Structure 1
């Protein structure tokens, strides 16, 4: 973990404020939504993958997200297109409900490993595909690299992932706009400090190469990302890697870090393409109507 300098504390708290504020405004709470998801075919453990979409899709939320609120847009979108879709909570801290992804990232990867095993056992599929937002697009790489996940995963799609950490440039300037919010969470959140550029976790994750054999990687980033800074930190290098800048698909798309992973249907179309490249169609500004 990084030293708790005043600068580090300010940065960590700034990330907490931004993500917490976004999560709180996205949708009703997870408690209110949890019972509705299975009825729509999402988190339905009786779902059996079809010949068209033979692998279940596991959605991995971002920092301060949860298994429901983060995916109220993308999960139904994929279900409507015939995928078996699942999502998990990870990185929970004691006495912090709804806002997850705050625990040590290596332990969060262990939770993902157990959840993928559960999904594969239920569906009978030999492999899954993973789609994650922010930390959820980066954390699975630890599972793939160190916990045997490469044998169980076909593809990883990261939406605004912080694959090489983040500088959080200028983010502390947001704090004055949210009175009292900085006291909601403390800096004792390893899931945040692990994501700092140059942290011991990031060093371990990326030494020896970004990717592992046998897995396809897609990164979707936005140049307006104010959390993963610079946004190029999300890019991966290696075989079977596709890096996509959202504005290269639609220059008019102004989505920032939260919107790109939660409400942007142009991104949803690109995710569908990454999951089913054999039937991919061009992603353009018009994909918002797809």
Structure 2
């Protein structure tokens, strides 16, 4: 579904367009994948996983690690992500994208899916170590995005009200009892998703774990 974007979002999309490589639709063998990092992270967090995807046959034009301001509200980030998805679809000629997220990236991308008609544009969605039902560690920072990550926040109450996995999008989560950042550990679990408890993996370890990377590729492939 296409929607008119606010002018500020259009400007943002234009500024980030250079990070998305145009690829003719005929050359795409799979959905383009957009990687969304977590709080205080960056696109470089995905370097190792993207290398794994390329080794498995993905092309540069099928992969986009996106940078955003993690201090802003997840609602704002969701609007910006919607513009990035639309731009990716327009540039590649694809009909859908897959979204792979780490930590807080799961929240803003779920906000996009649930409230900005993203389920019509996203085939597969992945949350690695996401605070989908809040984490007590978010009390340690003061950004609005951190406030939104706290258990019982207005943002999370609204996000998790009703269907947690709406639409025809395939939802998958991965979580670990060794995650020192997500508390409670199973906060990542989303009702209606394929929820996978891994072995002992740290919060940042989800970004570099070979087993998780392989499972994610199989999920979105």
TM bin (shorter chain): 0.7 to 0.9
| CA 257–49 in structure 1, closer or farther in 2 if over 3 Å, else same | farther
Partner of 2:174, secondary structure, is strand
**Partner residue of 1:95?**
none
Q: Give the TM-score, by structure 2 length.
A: 0.85
What do residues 108-146 of structure 1 show as CA deviations (whole Å, max 9, x unaligned)?
A: 101110101111111000100000000112321110000
Q: Tell me how far apart the structure 2 counterparts of residues 159 and 234 of structure 1 sit (CA, whole Å).
A: 8
Distance in 2, Cα, partners of 1:48 & 1:81: 20
Q: Is 1:217 matched up with 2:159?
A: no
In structure 2, how many angstroms separate the alpha carbons of the residues matched to 1:233 and 1:246? 14
Match of 2:4 in 1: none
The runs of 5 or more residues in structure 2 that have no matched partner are 1-17
Shift in alpha-carbon separation, 1:52–1:212, aligned structure 2, 3 A = same
Partner of 2:180: 226
Return 5+ residue gaps in structure 1 as ranges: 1-37, 93-100, 173-185, 248-253, 277-290
Match of 2:30 among 54, 58, 62: 54
Checking the alignment, whether the CA contact within 8 Å between 2:74 and 2:107 is kept in structure 1 is: no
Equivalent residue for 1:270, pick from 212, 215, 218 = 215
Q: 1:199 aligns with which of 153, 167, 173?
A: 153
The superposition leaves residues 88-116 of structure 1 with CA deviations (integer Å, 9 ceiling, x where unpaired) of: 112x2xxxxxxxx1210100101110101
TM score, norm. by length of structure 1: 0.65
Query: 1:246 aligns to what?
Result: 198
Summarize the Cα distance change of 1:49–1:231 in structure 2 as closer, same or farther, 3 Å threshold.
Answer: farther
Structure whose alpha-carbon radius of gyration is higher:
1
